[in-house]
Chain A
Amino acid sequence: MRKDVVYEANRSFNPVFKQKKSILKVMKTVFLITFSFCMIYPLYWLFISAFKSTDEFFQFPYALPSEWTFDNFVRAWNLADLGGAMINSTVVTVVGTIFTVFLGALTAYVLSRFSFKWKGFIMLFFLLGMLIPIHSTLVPLFSIMNEIGMLNTYWALILPYTAFELPIAIFLITAYMSSIPKEIEEAAVIDGAGYWGIFFRIMLPIAVPAMATVAILAFLRYWNEYIFALVFINDASLKTLPLSLSIFSDGYSTDYSLTMAAMAIAVIPTVIMYVFFQEQIMKGMVAGSVKG
């Protein structure tokens, strides 16, 4: 024991060893900086290009803009009706998120607090949904919605988004509620509160952390979702942001800095959200993907 301590001490005083260690440390730092740069670069390039004129973009595609101009943002906003798209995205995302959190919490309350015959089966049934590839339901959902006249409505997006997010929502909230001791509701039961009362006044407030995680995940997923919107929405006035971007880039395919500005507008809300809720987003997405 004593010997080890001496040995360690000698080593750290050894100048050659120290030098080797510091070279390694520099190499590590250089690697990490380079790697982070590669991760951020596409987004950085997107933003600087959005502030350039198209001519300048072609001349110096990688340089900082000589003159920072908001022209592209204004033009993109007006040409692609990004304002309308943003309203559509907001409606679909907010309503979908509320549905997901509420239905997820309600179902989780029942699954975590009651025991009944079919409970195991219902849990398994919801878990099954995580295995189903979303794009394999496109054709049947399109046909069904076509039959009942649901295409080209907000519901055509809100309902599928909610349905596909429900398994993860139920799973995360059930796990959280199960970890809370049952004594907490017992007082309320004695007071004669009904199940709705217990759910709204006790379970919902307690489960806020899990519900917040679900809400953030749902929000990001719905805001960015593309393929359902592409297939179920044709009406120009109902297009969500990702959809109007993909169409916009086709129409103005050579006006690159204009397209970049449109993309920047679409990306800003999620990036701001990321800055504020970073830890929660990381943890939530990992929990969501591990369970999914």
Chain B
Amino acid sequence: MQDILKAKHWIIISLLPALLLYTFIVIVPIFWSSYYGFFKWSGMNEPSFIGWANYLEVVNDPIFWRALKNNMIIVVASVFGQVPIALLLALLLRKTTLFQRFVRSAVFLPMVISTVVVGLIWGYIYNPEFGIVNALLEMLGLESWTRAWLSDPAVNMYAVSVPIIWNYIGPYLIIFIAAIQNIPTEIEDAAKMDGANGFRKLFYITLPMMWTTIKVAVVLCISGSLKAFDQVFVMTGGGPAQSTELLATYMYNNTFMTYRYGYGSAVSTMIIIVSLILILISQILMRRKEEKGMSI
């Protein structure tokens, strides 16, 4: 009895610090922001209750919907950029020679670089005066293609997606290499015996064997690209004329630039709802994969 009490005591004492810190900083703000979303509040004065007005304003603001659409562009660009590139590279990088290990390290390198540096340096790469993108196009005789990549609303959302793709290929590459190495060699040998080579082996053996991992990667990619906004924030700040606004930059600009904390809280709540919906959708994808009885 004494021992059980002692154990109980210990469990409570040792869980408490992590639990308190986590609850107050990660969980409480969610309820806090959905509550303050009902108030008009500049941060200085007393908040005054205004009902659903903030939430209605968010839903009726075309800029909010544009930001949501831009977020979706980033998600789609990440899924169709990062996953296929990582897959192709993983298929080419099956050995552990020095050269192949070097390529792997190079692809992973951007993961350790500050997102601020990524944003700034890609801003320079796109610079119309001295950026290498325009310089390369001129060299190739494609002067008509050169433009101010980050300020032309027709292309700037695609332009800001490239650094995000570049930034996060690494983890998917490592996941895919591990998946390829997990394919039993007997299966590969058997396929070879049956005369399957090159593309036939790829499409009938390797890719089907990796299918569950590819699905997991897509799910990770969706939730991961929802978080990526530092780079865009540094490159354009959501501009010009809010053409590259993301949900997070929209929230930032509406809260800390114009001192509308109530409205910002409502936007924060909307961000959580949107993310949860997307994660739910991707979890349903995940569930399907578990039914087949395989995991990575």
Give A residues with C-beta under 8 Å from B.
4, 28-29, 31-32, 35-36, 38-43, 45-46, 57-58, 61-62, 103-104, 106-107, 109-110, 114, 116, 122, 125-126, 128-129, 131-144, 146, 159-160, 162-164, 166-167, 170, 195, 199, 220, 223-224, 226-227, 231, 241-243, 245-246, 249, 256, 259-260, 263, 266-267, 270-271, 273-274, 278, 281-283, 285-286, 289-290, 292
Contact = CB atoms under 8 A, between A and B. Distances in A.
B22 A144 contact: no
Interface centre among B8, B113, B269 (most CB of A within 10 A): B113
A282 B19 contact: no
Nearest to B106: A36
A25 B54 CA distance: 60
Contacts of A38: 166
Given A43-B113, A129-B27, A224-B113, A103 B33 contact: no
B171 interface: yes
Contact of A170 (B18, B36, B169, B296): B18
Contacts of A224: 112-116
- Tell me if B's interface is mostly helix, strand, loop or mixed: helix
A136 B103 contact: no
Find the residue from A260, A263, A281 having the highest chain B CB count within 10 A: A263
B170 interface: yes
A39 B107 contact: yes
A208 to B, nearest CB: 19
Given A263-B121, A286-B175, A146 B279 contact: no
Given A36-B103, A139-B265, A122 B15 contact: yes
B25 A138 contact: no
Contacts of A289: 171, 220, 224
Contacts of A283: 174
B151 interface: no
Contact of A58 (B10, B110, B116, B130): B130
A143 B276 CA distance: 24
B256 interface: yes
A136 B268 contact: yes
Contacts of B264: 139
B25 A286 contact: no
Given A144-B32, A226-B115, A289-B171, A136 B22 contact: no
Contacts of B7: 114, 195
Contacts of A141: 25, 29
Nearest to A249: B120
A245 to B, nearest CB: 5
B265 A166 contact: no
22 contacts: A36-B106, A42-B125, A43-B113, A129-B26, A131-B275, A135-B271, A137-B25, A139-B265, A140-B33, A140-B36, A143-B43, A166-B21, A223-B114, A224-B113, A224-B114, A226-B116, A227-B230, A263-B120, A266-B116, A267-B117, A270-B114, A271-B113
A39 B166 contact: yes
Interface string B234-272: 100000000000001001100110000100110011011
A166 B109 contact: no
B193 interface: yes
B124 interface: yes
Contacts of A136: 29-30, 33, 251, 268-269, 271-272, 275
Nearest to B175: A286
Contacts of B11: 110, 114, 116
B226 A133 contact: yes
A35 B89 contact: yes
Given A132-B30, A143-B36, A226-B115, A259 B120 contact: yes
Given A163-B26, A289-B224, A40 B109 contact: yes
B261 A163 contact: no
Given A138-B268, A249-B120, 18 more contacts: A62-B132, A106-B18, A126-B22, A129-B22, A132-B275, A137-B33, A139-B261, A139-B268, A144-B28, A166-B18, A167-B22, A223-B114, A224-B114, A227-B233, A270-B114, A281-B111, A290-B175, A290-B296
A274 B108 CA distance: 10
A62 B135 contact: yes
B290 to A, nearest CB: 14
B114 A241 contact: yes
Contacts of B226: 133
Nearest to B116: A242
Nearest to B33: A140
B18 A103 contact: yes
Contacts of B80: none
A38 B163 CA distance: 11
B14 interface: yes
A163 B21 contact: yes
Interface string B142-164: 00000000000000000000000
B174 A131 contact: no
A62 B248 CA distance: 34
Contact of B268 (A104, A140, A223): A140
Interface string B214-231: 001000100110110110
